[in-house]
Amino acid sequence: MMKKRTLGRSGIEIAPIVFGGNVFGWTADEARSFELLDRFVERGFNAIDTADSYSAWAPGLSGGESETVLGKWLAKRGRRDDIVLMTKVGMWEPRKGLSAANIEAAVNDSLKRLGTDYIDIYFAHIDDEQVPLEETMTAFDKLVKAGKVRALGASNYSAERLREALNVSKEQGLARYEVIQPLYNLHDRDDFESELANLAQEQQIGVVSYFSLASGFLTGKYRKVEDLQGSARADFMQQYFTGRGQRILHELLAVSDELSARPAQVALAWLLSRPGVTAPIASATKLEQLEEIMGAVTLSLPEPALNRLNKASGA
């Protein structure tokens, strides 16, 4: 049996890889999405992350596609009770922001698309400084009390704003953020490690990292900028082809070869070794990619390999 990890103080346990559902209805059509999800749960994994905004950025799509595909899979397979379902509010243009009215409307929309009456972790997708934290946390608290949401999460919050939100919840007796979803990977370390990591550990908050493979850069598939041609993620990945990025990639590939592992597995195993990280989020559009990702949980990185990766990435 795979050992599960508890998300902060929520009491919710997840296997140590979260499936990133941004691909559902975008780079993975409905049939492929069902195939991937079936394999994921067959292997004992149970946490799936999505958002109301997925995949509004893609040509011809408007948002809500991922939740809709996931909802159809849940209905067809009857697996709702086996899944820890994470979704988000606040970034999608039709439901933008964290006002009380918007949160209430957005959660009802998401529940309908997902075909469920509760969400396990409901994230604020992005901070909204235009709305008082008291209003936002009170609105989220109502959802918890109503049974529509089991626990709350915050994505893209600074440490300062997260601490303020936690203080508001404590002072007013409201449900608090129990999970954070930061940008964090072998390349992108500063935002999380500078302050958020310590705050999360201090407050016993679960951490599920997004862009865990740096939009595909850390899979080793793309060795130079020219390799990006034709990739749906090309715009996201341009930023990684710098001198530092190439150093990280070089060391990642070297460690992978030495351990007879795939680069993605090493990058995810590195995250799983980091203090305070509950589970990385990772996506796949093919079964072989998914198998590769899931294999990371059984890969143990020797101390010398960890030191080399840390040194290459600037720690």
Residues catalogued as catalytic: 54
Q: Residue 172 has which token pair? A: 């007013």
Taking the C-alpha atoms of residue 87 and residue 303, their distance in angstroms, rounded to an integer, is 35
Taking the C-alpha atoms of residue 244 and residue 250, their distance in angstroms, rounded to an integer, is 10
The set of residues, in sequence order, having a beta carbon less than 8 Å from that of 171 and lying 6+ positions away, is none
The set of residues, in sequence order, having a beta carbon less than 8 Å from that of 116 and lying 6+ positions away, is 71, 74, 80, 85
Please state whether the peptide bond connecting residue 273 to the residue before it is cis, i.e. omega within 30 degrees of 0.
no
8 A C-beta contact, residue 63 and residue 37: no
